[in-house]
Structure 1
Amino acid sequence: MKKIYVKEWMSFQPYTRQDEVDCYYVGVANHIASLLQDLAGKKRYPEYSVRGVAIYLTLWFQDVISQTGIWRAFTDECRKRYGYFVPFMTLEEEKKYYQGEVNPEDLQFLLWHYFQTLEKQMDRVMNPENPVFEELAYRIYDYLFEEFQVAPENERLHAVLYGEAFEENDYMRYRSVLEWFHFCSYVGFENRNEYRETVEKVSQMDFGQNIDLNILAYDIKQNALFEGRKNLLSLTSAEWLALIGKSHPETALWAEVKALPQEMYLYEGEDEKFLFVKDLSKKEGEQLSIRKDSLNMDSLKARKEGVTILSCRLVQYGGAWWQDGMLVVSDLQEKVQEEIDQRIAAREGIQKTFDEFMKASGGKQFVFCKSEEEVQDFLSQKLGYKEKEGIELPKMDATHGLVLMVSPHTGIHVQMQLCECISSPDNTFYDAEAAKKQAAMFILNPNVIPYDLSCALQDADMLPDACLNSALGEEHGRETMKRNARFFTDYFFEKCREKDC
C-alpha cells in the first residue's frame, strides 16, 4: 500500500507547519493502514479509500490523546439520545467502557461507519456485528493500547480550540475553526468529497448569466458549514462545536451561535454599527441588527428603507448577526411579496392539515385503506379536499394496502410501499413474514418514508418485526435493530429528533 506522507496528514490540521508530533501520528496512520491493507488487497475497496480510513482513525486517536473533546461530545450525546456511549454496544460492554481512553467498541463502530459510508453509494447496509469489524478493531486496539502510553498530546491543536478565549468580535476566528472541523475532523468523513462534487456539478450548469464561480463555490462552502448534516449525530458543524466547547469557558460563545438559512430581509434603517432589517420569512417578522462590517456595503449604496431587500444567510455570534455567504440585493416588488406570502401560507397550511386529519381520523396519525377509492373517499369526504384545490394523487397499487399518514412537519403522506410490514389491528394487509424481511426499510432507507413518519411508526410500535440479518439468528437480529433503531434512523436519514421532530 502506498505510504501516507506528512503533507497529506497536514491537510487535516488547522495549522500549516509540521513538527515531531505530526510525524508521530503519520507513523500511526501508516501502521493502521498496514493492518487494513487486506481490504484493499482483495479489491473490495480502492487503496486510497482504505488509506483514508487509516487517516481518519488516526485523527480520532489524536483527539482522544489530546483531549480536544470531539469523541467525548459524541459519546455524551449518544448516551443521552440512545442510552449507550457508542452505538451497537451491549449493556455488558458498557460496564467495561472507559471514556477518555481507547476502547475496542469505539474502533469497531468507527470501522463500520467508514466502510458503511463507502457502501452507501451502492445502497448497501452493512451489519455492524460483522466479524471482520470486530477482528480489525481488536488488531488496531492492541496496537493503540500500547501507543496510548507514549502518544504525545497535540498541544498546538488543543491551543487552536481552547488556547485563547473567543470574544464577541472573533467571528472570523470562530468560522476558521468551524471550517476546519467540517472538512478535516473524523466525524465528517464525506464532507470533502461532497463539497468538491457539488462545486463541480454546479460549475457545469448554465445559469444564463455571468456568475462568478468562485463566489458560487464560496457560497456552497458556507452553506455546508452551517446547514450540512452529513456526519455522526446528523447535526450541523456549528451545533457540533457547541457540544464540543461547552465544557471550556474559552469557547462559551460557541453555544450561542445560531444560523438562519438563506432568507429575504427588508432594509428598515441603520446606525453607525448596524443595519436594521425585517425577516420576511415570518408573518410577524422580527427586526434583526446586522453588523455592517460583515456586509459588502458597496452593493448596498442605493439602499432605500422599506424597499431594499437583502437575500442572504445570517449567523448570530457574540450577541450580533453577521452576514455570511452570498449577498443578493434587490427591490421589494409585488411578485416577491406574493412569493413570500405563499411560503408563509404553506407552512401554516401543514399544521392546519395535520389538525384536520387528526380530527377526521378520530385521533389516528395512520389511516389504513384497502383501495385507492378508500384513499380518495377519506380525502374528499372526511377532509373535504376537492380536485379544484390542486390535490393530484398518483396512480396507486393497492395490492399490499395503502396507508395515509400525517405529520405536523411534512403534512399528508400516502404510503404505497411495504404497507404489509406495518403492524396494526387496522391493517388487514399486515404480513408478519414479509415484515421480517422488509420492515427494516422504514428505518434504513430514507427513500421509503419521511423521517418524522418513520419515527412516528417506531414510537407507535408498528415496526416490531424490523430485523437485521444476523449470523446469530432472527431473534438476535430483531433485538439488535430494536436496540439501535433510533440511531439507524438518524444515521441513514441524516436527521435527528432534536431538530426535525
Structure 2
Amino acid sequence: MTKIRIPAMDIARRHPLFLKGTTDAAYARFASDLAELMEKLNIEEFKGDNLRELAIVLTMYYEDMISDLGIWNALTDSFQELYGRQLPFYDVDMQNYYRNEPNVEDIRFLIWLLMTRTEPSAVVSPDTPALEAAARTACSLMDKRFEDMPVNEELKEFFTKAEFAQNFYAQLDLMKWSYFACYASCNENAPMLIRQQAQRLSFSLNCPPPIAVNVAESIAMFENRLQPLAMRPQDWLARIVRNNGNAEAADKIASQRYLPFDFYLITDAVKGESMTFESLRGEKFTLSDHGLSHPQPECYDSKSAMAFFVEYGGEFYIGSQGSWSNNTEAFDAEKKTRKQNTTLCIDNRRKLIEENSGSPLFYFNNADMLRLFLTERVGLPKKTVSQLTLPQEEMDFTVFVRESDFNVVYFPNVARLICDPRNPLYDAEYAKANTFGNIFMLPGDMLRYLHEHDMLPEARINCFGGEEEGKKIVKDNFDFFARMMQGSAY
C-alpha cells in the first residue's frame, strides 16, 4: 500500500484567497492519516484522486468545526429554514448534536454530497452501507484528535473582520472562492462551465481568452448557483460572515444588486469622472471613474457598451471588462426586438392556457404534430418551424408554456414520464426506470409545476431499502434533489 501524503498547500488552496496559516501542516497530516484509513475501507467510488479529494473535503469540515468558521453551519441553517430539519435523508438526534463539533450525520451527508458531485450521472443512495462505514471511520478519528488539533485563528479572524466586504472586487473574489474551492459549496464542474462560457464571450466581446475567462468567472457569480441548495454566491458568503458575528458586512454582501451582462446605452459622460448608462428596460444609473475601474480615456467617447454592473453599498461598479462601441445600433435593435417578442408572447401565452383548460402542458406523439401546433396555435412563422431540427425517431414531445419569460419550450421523450389525466402517452412502467434520470434536465419552473401537481409519481432512486423506500426518499426530499441536480436552472 502506497503511503498517502497530502501537502499543506492542498489545505491552503481551499482557503479564501489561498490564505496560508500556521495550522495548515497539522491539518495536512490529519488529511493524510484520514486518507490512509479510508483506503483500507476499499470503497469503490474512492480511489486515487477521489480518495485524496474525500480526505481533503472532510479535513476542511474538521477545520471548520474546530475553528468555528461558520461554513457548515451556514448550510445546516439553510436546511432548517427550507425543510425544518438539520439534514436531508438522515434523522438527527438534536439533543446529542453539537453545533461546533464533528457529527457522524454531517460527515455521512458530506460524503454523499461529494460522491454525487463527482459522479452526477448516478446518484448514490443515501442509505448505502459504505457511506455509514466511511462516516463512522472519519468521525472516530476526528473525535480521537479533537482536543489536540489547533484552531485556525487567522482564518477565523479573516471571516470575523470581513474586511473584504469594504471593497466590491475583494468580496467578488470571496464569492469566487465559494464557487470554486469552498468544501461545502464548490462545483467540481465549474472550471469546465467557465471555459465554455469564456469561449462564447471571447467571440462576442472580441477579446483574448484570458480576459474572457475573467469575465465569465465574474458573471457566473451572479448568474450561477451553488450546490447543493442552488444558492446565490452572495447569499452563501453573507451567511458565513453572519455566522462569524459581522451582521453589517453580511447585509452589505447579501444586498448587492446585479444588472445583467447586456447592451447598455451611454447617455452622459464626463471624461475621467463619471458615466451614465441606461439599460434596455430604461433604468438609468451613474458610475464614477473608480466604479468603472479607471477605463481608457477613449471609453468616455463611446455611445454604448456590452457589460454587466453591480450596485454594491450604494454605488455602482462595472463587474468586469466590457465591450465599448461608438454607436447605438446594437442597443437600439435589441430593445426593439425584445419589446416585440415580449408583447406577442404574453398574449399568446394567455390564450394558449385558456384554450387548454388552464394547463400549460401539451403532449404530442410525433414531430409533425408538434410542428402543426407551433404554427397554428403558437403562431410561429412556417419558415421558422420548418427549419427546426426535431428528432424524428423520438416517440413523444411535451410542450410547456413558461410563466417566467412567456416562452414556449418543448422536450422529447418526457410525456411518458408525466402522469396527467390529459396525457394519453403516460407509461407507468417506463416511468419507473426513467423518471429520476431525466426530469432534472427540465426547466426549474416546469419541474416545480409537475411536482406540485403530483405528476411524477414514479420518481425514485435505486435504494438498498427497496423500490418503495427509493420513492419515499425522492418524495420527501424532492425540492432538495431539484436544487442539487439543477443548480442554476432551479
In the superposition, the TM-score normalised over structure 1's length comes to 0.84
Query: Aligned residue for 2:430?
Result: 434
Query: Aligned residue for 1:125?
Result: 123
Query: Aligned residue for 1:10?
Result: 12
Query: Aligned residue for 1:342?
Result: 337
Change (3 A) 1:423 1:216: closer
Distance in 2 of aligned mates of 1:225 and 1:298: 22
8 Å CA contact 1:60–1:186 kept in 2: the answer is yes
Q: How does 1:156-305 map to 2 (within 5 A)?
A: 156-163=154-161, 170-190=167-187, 194-195=190-191, 198-199=194-195, 211-246=207-242, 248-251=246-249, 252-270=251-269, 274-280=274-280, 282=281, 285-301=282-298, 303-304=300-301
Counterpart of 2:360 (choices 361, 365, 375) is: 365
Superposition deviation, residue 423 in structure 1: 1.2
Query: Aligned residue for 2:111?
Result: 111
Distance in 1 of aligned mates of 2:394 and 2:329: 48
Change (3 A) 1:218 1:372: closer
8 Å CA contact 1:400–1:429 kept in 2: the answer is no
Distance in 2 of aligned mates of 1:395 and 1:434: 22
Distance in 1 of aligned mates of 2:94 and 2:473: 15
Change (3 A) 1:68 1:422: same
8 Å CA contact 1:289–1:321 kept in 2: the answer is yes
Query: Counterpart of 1:428 in 2: which secondary structure?
Result: coil
The one-letter code matched in structure 1 to 2:12 is: M
Superposition deviation, residue 73 in structure 1: 1.6
Unmatched 5+ stretches in structure 2: none
8 Å CA contact 2:374–2:380 kept in 1: the answer is yes
Distance in 1 of aligned mates of 2:482 and 2:275: 42
Change (3 A) 1:196 1:428: closer
Superposition deviation, residue 89 in structure 1: 2.2
In the superposition, the TM-score normalised over structure 2's length comes to 0.86
Superposition deviation, residue 329 in structure 1: 1.1
Query: Aligned residue for 1:153?
Result: 151
Q: Deviations over 1:342-378 (max 9, x none)?
A: 2454455544443222112121122344565654565
Distance in 2 of aligned mates of 1:239 and 1:303: 34
Query: Counterpart of 1:494 in 2: which secondary structure?
Result: helix
Let me know the Cα RMSD of the aligned residues.
Answer: 3.4
Query: Counterpart of 1:113 in 2: which secondary structure?
Result: helix
Superposition deviation, residue 279 in structure 1: 1.2
Query: Aligned residue for 1:407?
Result: 402
8 Å CA contact 2:45–2:115 kept in 1: the answer is no
Counterpart of 1:319 (choices 290, 310, 314) is: 314
Q: Which moved more, 1:4-13 or 1:387-396?
A: 387-396
8 Å CA contact 1:405–1:412 kept in 2: the answer is yes
The one-letter code matched in structure 2 to 1:183 is: F
Change (3 A) 1:223 1:367: closer
Query: Counterpart of 2:322 in 1: which secondary structure?
Result: strand
Unmatched 5+ stretches in structure 1: none
Query: Counterpart of 1:326 in 2: which secondary structure?
Result: coil
Query: Aligned residue for 1:485?
Result: 478
Superposition deviation, residue 33 in structure 1: 1.2
Query: Aligned residue for 2:488?
Result: 495
Superposition deviation, residue 140 in structure 1: 0.9
Query: Aligned residue for 1:62?
Result: 63
Distance in 2 of aligned mates of 1:131 and 1:51: 21
8 Å CA contact 2:6–2:32 kept in 1: the answer is yes
The number of residues matched between the two structures is 483
Distance in 1 of aligned mates of 2:211 and 2:19: 28
Query: Aligned residue for 2:80?
Result: 79
Distance in 2 of aligned mates of 1:213 and 1:397: 38
8 Å CA contact 1:418–1:438 kept in 2: the answer is no
Q: Deviations over 1:68-120 (max 9, x none)?
A: 22212211212222343212224x65675443332222111111111222222
Superposition deviation, residue 457 in structure 1: 0.6
Distance in 1 of aligned mates of 2:137 and 2:291: 50
Superposition deviation, residue 278 in structure 1: 0.9
Distance in 1 of aligned mates of 2:98 and 2:163: 30
Query: Aligned residue for 1:332?
Result: 327
Distance in 1 of aligned mates of 2:425 and 2:7: 59
Query: Counterpart of 2:424 in 1: which secondary structure?
Result: coil
Q: Does residue 1:464 correspond to 2:461, yes or no?
A: no
Q: Deviations over 1:167-219 (max 9, x none)?
A: 6x52233234333333331134435x633784599689996998444323322
Q: Deviations over 1:37-66 (max 9, x none)?
A: 247x67755522321221122112222222
Superposition deviation, residue 338 in structure 1: 1.0
Change (3 A) 1:343 1:129: farther
Distance in 2 of aligned mates of 1:395 and 1:215: 36
% identity of equivalent residues: 24
Query: Counterpart of 1:303 in 2: which secondary structure?
Result: helix
Q: Does residue 1:310 correspond to 2:310, yes or no?
A: no
